[in-house]
Amino acid sequence: MRKKRIFIPQLENHRRTSVVGGCIRKKSSPKRPPEHSRIHFIGIGGIGMSALAKFYLSQGAHVSGSDLESSDITETLKKEGGRIYIGLHDASHIGPRTSAVIYNAAIDAKNPELIEAKKRKLRIVRYSKAVGEISKKFTTIAITGSHGKSTTTALIAHMMIAAGLDPTVIIGTKIKEFGNSNFRMGNSRYLVLEADDYAESFLSYKPHIAVVTNIDKEHLDYYSTFANIIRAFRRFIMNVKPGGFLVLNNDDANVLKIGMPLMQSTRFRGRIKWYSLRNKEVESIKHKLIIPGIHNVSNALAAYRVGQILGIPGESAIKSISEFEGAWRRFEYAGSLNGAKLFHDYAHHPTEIRATLDAAKNCFPRARLWCIFQPHQHERLSLLFNEFTSAFDDAHSVVILDPYEVAGREKRIKTDSDISFQLTLAIDKRMKNDVYYIPYASELAEFIKKYALPDDVIILMGAGNIWKIADGLV
């Protein structure tokens, strides 16, 4: 078996900690990691940043980081050896021996920790660039798309683990099979990576296999126009290494638009694997898949195509895919209240809301279906207002909260501060059933306790902190 060596990508002229054949070995055996592997993360509690921090911790690096709020993610990082600062960012959080600072795309240039790092001339790396450096040491499978990339990444990783390929995994959600973690350190040359499309982050990667689930009007706060989104996805596809493969969704018109012209190109001829809900494998996957929804059948098909490229037998691939129990906050059962079933879901885009409600309706055809929605970003809600208005048609009752504001992401002036109320009115005009507006999430728990009935299905939906309410109730 070919030996694998992974270097902590810091400063080229210092001693390195390496992984040979998947086992950590050091050139010498100091009691502490080399001084150059002291890394500080600004915004370490983010789902992607924390996964990267766990990678460095697994390599023996000293990791510190700051975040505005404490969470189970930051608490886990503490237990794994990270030094975590909670509250307002401050220059003092960067230790005297820190050599590198990693920040995410939402961190403002005026951030005091970023300013301090520049002042001290430390190595400063954006999250996606840091992951890109690591990915060069692996055979990388990168999964992107406007929707479904976390679940598809998890399905691929689960399938590869079952096949004995033992990948390292960096993913934007927590997975039960990884010990409720968003990171897994493998023992092979493979890296399975969720490639975020926000702020062109995925352009930092040069994968051997690229999966594109779909392309939609998402992150318009950054891209401004849909043409810019298409252009970014096309660039991501062209980043695939020579001899690499594309796995593309044949059911998505926008993926077809950028994929079809490549069919006859010398570079990709015979190396594009399309998948579709019209494929012969659909019925077998549909009947065995645990996670609900036709959108997840599509995600499973993408994983199946990756398995074909990797030489995983079809029956084995379908068996492992069918055993996957689902990702954190993806139609995840939270518990019961007054006999009603409560679910978490991460959906925060109109397309995702429709897919989740359709799945719930099919799973519980006789239940009264509630959707309690916390919009994620004022700006997304404003830019896609009409699409949001029609996204809740499958729900019997809808509750709209005020938007969850993401630090560093809201850059435009708010001209309609009551936008959630306006959305409530627009949905009410469209629906025959009940629509409620509750401005404060703190009032939601009492509302649910008062109105939840036995056999109701209640989905607390959004990418913000609404999931904490469900956890508190059950």
Spatial neighbors of 60 by CB under 8 A, at least 6 apart, are 17, 24, 26, 33, 37
CATH annotation of 5-127: 3.40.50.720
Pick the range with the lowest mean pLDDT from 207-216, 320-329, 394-403, 453-462: 320-329
| DSSP β-bridge partners for residue 192 | 141, 169
The single residue listed with the structure tokens 């080399």 is 34
Q: Is the pTM of this model over 0.85?
A: no
Model confidence at 38: pLDDT above 80 = yes
CB-CB contact of 288 with 296 (8 Å): no
CATH architecture of 332-473: Alpha-Beta Complex (3.90)
Q: Assign 151 to helix, strand or coil.
A: helix
Spatial neighbors of 412 by CB under 8 A, at least 6 apart, are 221, 379
Nearest to 296 by CA among 341, 334, 255, 345: 345
Q: Topology of 138-322 in CATH?
A: UDP-N-acetylmuramoyl-L-alanine:D-glutamate ligase (3.40.1190)
- 114-153: b or e for each residue (b if 16 or more CB lie within 10 Å)? bebbeeeebbbbbbbebbbebbebbbbbbbbbbbbbbbbb
Model confidence at 362: pLDDT above 70 = yes
How high is the pLDDT of residue 410?
Answer: 55
- Residues 79-125: pLDDT tens digits? 999 999 999 999 999 999 999 999 988 888 999 999 999 999 999 99
Whole-number mean pLDDT of the chain? 86
Highest average pLDDT, of 20-29, 237-246, 366-375, 453-462, comes from: 237-246
Backbone angles phi, psi at 259, to 5 degrees: -85, -40
Give the domain ranges of the chain: 5-127, 138-322, 332-473
